[in-house]
Structure 1
Amino acid sequence: MRRIGFVMLGLLVAVVGLWIAALVFLPDAPAGSSGAARTPLERLRLAVRWQPQPVDIGAGRGPAILLGMPVSGVARNALRDSWGEARDDGTRAHHGTDVMAPANTPVVAAAPGVVEKLWNSEAGGTTVYVRSPARTWTHYYAHLSGYAPGLHEGQTIAAGELLGYVGDTGNAGAGNYHLHFGLTRTDPAQHWYEGTDVDPFPYLAGKPLPG
């Protein structure tokens, strides 16, 4: 009886081996044929051999960059992270980094891009929105006392190029001269006022900004 058991086991192993060989070596269905045209064995073989492919979530984005200081003469170690601090008696949270500097200190582009919008608002006062070349970031410069001569929407900007001057416009408070610098993560198809705000402090402090 034991010998018969071994024989049966050997036959089972042989059948399994033939089945695996069929799965591996059976030719694919002709190119362009539909799934319905494949035999059950072919469909099973394709299902067994299929493996998920990794997705590059950075596809289509630009290279990482290092932000420069957006206010002339201010050192990185002079910055303070004020992200999330309460403003207007706790009715809103601060979404940006305030760079303190005397009135009319030059404000320069922290990174290259295109001037997407020049805007004057109750909150930000005189502002500039610069879109990164890959359109995946918007750099926001607010509370300016004025723009650089000739600055206009659609203008291509190099890192370090003059955008305007430190001021106290908008809700900054009279005499509270500073630049409010903001970062917004955007989809290339989004408008200048859309996207997700991101704390700019780590990137102004020297962390590379993803593309």
Structure 2
Amino acid sequence: MLTAARLTIPVEGVSCVDLRDSFNECRGMHRHEGIDIAAPFGTPVIAAGAGQVVKLFDSVPGGLTVYQFDPDETFAYYYAHLDAYASGLREGVKLERGDLLGYVGTTGNAAGGMPHLHFAIFRLEPDREWWKGEAINPYPFLDDANR
């Protein structure tokens, strides 16, 4: 359960008062299905919770991305628009909450070149494919008191 996961805000120095729920906003023809966390270029991006890195991917919409499964492989955490990955980050690495993943950037289709982290959560389907699942709004599950 996500509440029990004690997720932390995945951008260093950002607190709950800095967050805005943009999960249901429209982005073109589809729902955003994540939140954007604004931060200066190069700000460290940290793991929201424990789990394993299952995919590092460079895509047109997300730019440099990280897909991380929670320990039970029920949920995937998606981090997008990174400027760079943390040194030594690779697929298969097990992370603890707060471990460094990379740095805030503007890769992919980051609107207007404004540095931010796009963070999303989705419930994995039974086949546990890293790119498929039901979008879950991360906003109510993030807490800055868990660092």
Q: TM-score scaled by structure 2?
A: 0.92
Kindly state the Cα deviation for residue 189 of structure 1 after the two structures are TM-superposed: 3.2
Output the amino acid matched with 1:143: H
Is 1:66 aligned to residue 3 of structure 2? no
**Aligned twin of 1:190:** 128
- 2:97 aligns with 159
State how far apart, in whole Å, the 2-side matches of 1:144 and 1:177 are.
Answer: 9
Q: Counterparts in 2 of 1:110-129, with a 5 A limit?
A: 110-129=48-67
Cα distance, 1:69–1:186 mapped onto 2, change above 3 Å: same
Q: Answer yes or no: is the 8 Å Cα contact 2:2–2:141 preserved in 1.
A: no
Give the secondary structure class of the aligned counterpart of 2:78: strand
Counterparts of 1:120 and 1:81, CA distance in 2 = 25
Q: How many percent identity over aligned positions?
A: 47
CA contact (8 A) 1:135 1:187 kept: no
SS of equivalent residue, structure 1 residue 64? helix
2 CA distance for matches of 1:187 and 1:133? 15
Distance 1:80 1:74 in 2: 12
What does residue 33 of structure 1 align with?
Answer: none
How far, CA to CA, are the matches of 1:175 and 1:189 in structure 2? Answer: 35
Tell me, in whole angstroms, the C-alpha distance in 2 between the residues paired with 1:99 and 1:63: 20
1:99 aligns with 2:41: no
The question of 1:172 aligning with 2:110 is answered yes
> In the aligned structure 2, how far is the partner of 1:104 from the partner of 1:174?
17
Shift of 1:87: 1.4
Where in structure 1 do 4 or more consecutive aligned residues deviate above 4 Å? Answer: none
Residue 81 of structure 1 corresponds to 21
* 8 A contact 2:3–2:141 mirrored in 1: no
Instruction: Tell me how far 1:187 sits from its aligned partner.
Output: 3.8
1:125-140 correspondence runs (5 A): 125-140=63-78
8 Å Cα contact 2:68/2:78 also seen in 1:
yes
Determine if contact 1:147/1:165 at 8 Å carries over to the other structure.
Answer: yes
Once the two structures are TM-superposed, the CA of residue 71 in structure 1 deviates from its matched residue by 0.1
Q: Give the Cα–Cα distance (whole angstroms) in 1 for the partners of residues 27 and 61 of structure 2.
A: 12
Cα offset for 1:86?
1.5
Shift of 1:194: 1.4
| Residue aligned with 2:13, SS | coil
TM-aligned CA deviation for residue 152 of structure 1: 0.3
Label 1:151 to 1:134 Cα distance change in 2 as closer, same or farther (>3 A). Answer: same
Answer 1 or 2: which has greater helix percent: 1
Long gaps (5+) in structure 2: none
TM-score after normalising by structure 1: 0.65
- Structure number with larger C-alpha Rg: 1
* Unpaired runs of at least 5, structure 1: 1-60, 207-211
Answer yes or no: is the 8 Å Cα contact 1:62–1:134 preserved in 2: no
Structure with the greater relative contact order (CA < 8 A, sep ≥ 6): 1 or 2?
Answer: 2
How big is the shift at 1:205? 4.7
What do you get for the CA RMSD once the two structures are aligned?
1.7
